[in-house]
């Protein structure tokens, strides 16, 4: 496992990735502003641009099955590896599952209270055909029967997200059962995932076009109310993430480890700036490992909790998925009932695992959840595209903070953290030596599974 003495950040590579990411980020901002202007000044033209957003959503839809299959199989692989190291890994996994579920629940709660999409009346467009299919399932037994595909491969081509999820779970647990003999297969799936995510990143470069068309169409149809409602969703998401980190996780850190979340945030300030600059929590992964070890957490604990958490403890992404799903449903005038919300929560809890580190993975998971529960809502994802990039930093910062706090909590529970050292470090009495973060070589790969090039979730 990478230690503080040999962990590195490669400035050349990081800089190149940051530049590419920021070009896309700037392009999306320009496209959103242009779409709002076109929708306000020429509403009919804006409505006619709707197919641009729909085409982009179809491209994302195309990637749902391969993304979910790869991330679920590799996510289960990371669970097996973490659990195999004993008490620390098992305790970390239990904590990750509980907190991710709690984050999903908070997203559902806030979405139901604020209902930011209510009143938009976004039309379904080409997705209306799914509404008829949704009523032809044959009831509960038809729904259950439909989860089982005709063949293992057809699950990846039929467009049924639940069938893909079912096969991915079977394959993942089968690989667990065969043990070390399944390692070559896991490596093969990891390579396929890298290819799939590379295609997804290519598609994401079309996001400005999709965002322009979707924003122009929704503003042309609903007026400036669309901008206000989308702004409300963004504001609610940012506030929810802040409260989750500083109130929920902060209280847990204070109660369990007797440490201050505000002092921890100050200690990790440079990493926060790096995440904002790169739109990626993974850009700060080597530094988090080094800083947690400097804060008194044993290397063995850091080496298990941090990499596994990056795949399995995505609190910010969990909040985003549920809030965005409820927003889309409300905006299209077809809100999810409580049964559907609970079912969607279960789906997101499973499908979001392992989907870290790649631009568009969150969108693909969001689209997959809507397609599996209410296919007629899938076109509403086009509205989210325009503001997804604005929320990426909040997701990344929340995910990063959650993993830093998880490391200290698991270290406390397993008695593998020196609390006196932690207090000295957080109080500023023992500052981190930045010279340890040498930049003359590339960082070792600390992840338990192969992961794609780090960009934002």
pLDDT digits (tens, 9 = 90+) for 213-265: 888 888 887 777 777 888 888 888 999 999 999 999 999 999 999 999 999 99
Cβ(92)–Cβ(406) below 8 Å:
yes
Domain span holding position 94 = 16-433
pLDDT band of 279, cuts 50, 70, 90: low
Q: Is residue 108 part of a domain?
A: yes
Q: Is residue 230 part of a domain?
A: yes
Q: Is residue 443 part of a domain?
A: no
Q: Is residue 450 part of a domain?
A: no
pLDDT greater at residue 151 or residue 6: 151
pLDDT band of 409, cuts 50, 70, 90: very high
pLDDT at 424 (0 to 100):
92
pLDDT, tens digit, for every residue of 74-114?
777 666 666 555 677 778 888 888 888 888 888 888 888 88
Q: Angle 315-331/87-114 helices, nearest 10 degrees?
A: 30
Residue 134 predicted with pLDDT over 60: no
pLDDT at 404 (0 to 100):
93
Cβ(35)–Cβ(215) below 8 Å:
yes
Q: Is residue 3 part of a domain?
A: no
CA dihedral of 107, 211, 336, 457, whole degrees rounded to 10: -40
pLDDT band of 159, cuts 50, 70, 90: low
pLDDT at 245 (0 to 100):
94
pLDDT band of 142, cuts 50, 70, 90: low
pLDDT at 454 (0 to 100):
40
Give the distance from CA 442 to its chain's centroid: 26
pLDDT at 310 (0 to 100):
77
pLDDT greater at residue 201 or residue 362: 201
pLDDT at 78 (0 to 100):
62
Q: Is residue 153 part of a domain?
A: yes
pLDDT at 436 (0 to 100):
62
CATH code for the domain of 384: 1.10.3860
Give the pLDDT mean for 359-380.
Answer: 73
Q: Is residue 445 part of a domain?
A: no
Place of tokens 């995505």: 314
Phi first, then psi, for residue 297 (nearest 5°) are -85, 135
Q: Angle 361-373/315-331 helices, nearest 10 degrees?
A: 50
Q: Rounded to whole angstroms, how far apart are CA atoms 379 and 436?
A: 49
pLDDT, tens digit, for every residue of 182-217?
888 888 988 988 888 888 878 878 888 888 888 888
Q: Angle 50-84/361-373 helices, nearest 10 degrees?
A: 100
The pTM of the whole model exceeds 0.75: no
Number of domains in the chain: 1
Percent of the chain at pLDDT above 70? 77
Residue of 211, 197, 199 whose CA lies nearest to 25 = 211
Q: Is residue 241 part of a domain?
A: yes
Give the distance from CA 365 to its chain's centroid: 8
pLDDT, tens digit, for every residue of 429-448?
888 877 666 443 333 344 44
pLDDT at 85 (0 to 100):
58
pLDDT at 446 (0 to 100):
41
Residue 297 predicted with pLDDT over 70: yes
Of the CA atoms within 13 Å of residue 427, those in its CB half-sphere come to 8
Place of tokens 């896309």: 24
pLDDT at 422 (0 to 100):
92
Residues 207-236 as b/e (b if ≥16 CB within 10 A, e otherwise) read bbbbbbbbbbbbbbbbeeebbebbeebeeb
């Amino acid at each position: 496992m990478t230690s503080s003495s040999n962990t590195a950040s490669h400035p050349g590579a990081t800089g190149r990735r940051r530049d590419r990411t920021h070009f896309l980020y700037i392009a999306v901002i320009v496209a959103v502003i242009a779409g709002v202007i076109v929708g306000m000044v020429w509403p009919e033209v804006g409505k006619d641009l709707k197919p641009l957003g729909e085409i982009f959503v179809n491209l994302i839809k195309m990637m749902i099955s391969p993304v979910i299959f790869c991330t679920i199989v590799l996510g289960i692989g990371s669970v097996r590896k973490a659990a195999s190291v004993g008490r620390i890994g098992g305790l970390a996994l239990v904590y990750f599952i509980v907190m991710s579920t709690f984050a999903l629940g908070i997203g559902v709660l806030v979405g139901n209270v604020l209902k930011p999409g209510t009143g938009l009346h976004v039309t379904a467009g080409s997705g209306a055909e799914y509404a008829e299919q949704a009523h032809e399932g044959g009831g509960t037994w038809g729904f259950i029967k439909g989860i089982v595909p005709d063949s293992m491969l057809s699950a990846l081509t039929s467009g049924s997200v639940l069938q893909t999820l079912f096969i991915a779970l079977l394959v993942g647990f089968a690989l667990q059962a065969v043990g070390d003999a399944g390692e070559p297969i896991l490596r093969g799936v990891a390579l396929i995932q890298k290819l799939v995510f590379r295609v997804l990143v290519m598609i994401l470069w079309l996001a400005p076009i999709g965002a322009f068309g979707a924003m122009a169409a929704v503003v042309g149809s609903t007026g400036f109310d669309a901008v206000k409602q989308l702004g409300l969703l963004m504001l609610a998401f940012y506030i929810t993430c802040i409260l989750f980190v500083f109130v929920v996780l902060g209280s847990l850190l204070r109660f369990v480890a007797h440490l201050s979340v505000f002092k921890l945030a100050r200690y990790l300030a440079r990493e926060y700036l790096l995440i904002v600059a790169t739109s990626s929590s993974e850009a700060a992964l080597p530094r988090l490992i080094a800083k947690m070890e400097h804060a008194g957490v044993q290397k063995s604990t850091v080496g298990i909790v941090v990499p596994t958490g990056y795949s399995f403890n995505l609190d910010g992404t969990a909040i985003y998925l549920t809030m965005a799903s409820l927003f889309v449903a409300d905006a299209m005038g077809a809100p999810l009932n409580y049964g559907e919300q609970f079912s969607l929560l279960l789906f997101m809890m499973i499908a979001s695992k392992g989907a870290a580190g790649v631009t568009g993975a969150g969108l693909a998971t969001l689209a997959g959840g809507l397609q599996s529960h209410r296919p007629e809502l899938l076109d509403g994802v086009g509205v989210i595209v325009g503001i997804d990039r604005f929320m990426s930093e909040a997701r990344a910062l929340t995910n990063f903070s959650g993993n830093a706090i998880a490391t200290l909590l698991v270290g406390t529970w397993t008695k593998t953290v020196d609390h006196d050292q932690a207090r000295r470090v957080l109080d500023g009495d023992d500052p981190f030596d930045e010279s340890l973060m040498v930049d003359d070589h590339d960082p070792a790969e600390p992840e338990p599974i192969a992961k794609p090039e780090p960009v934002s979730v």
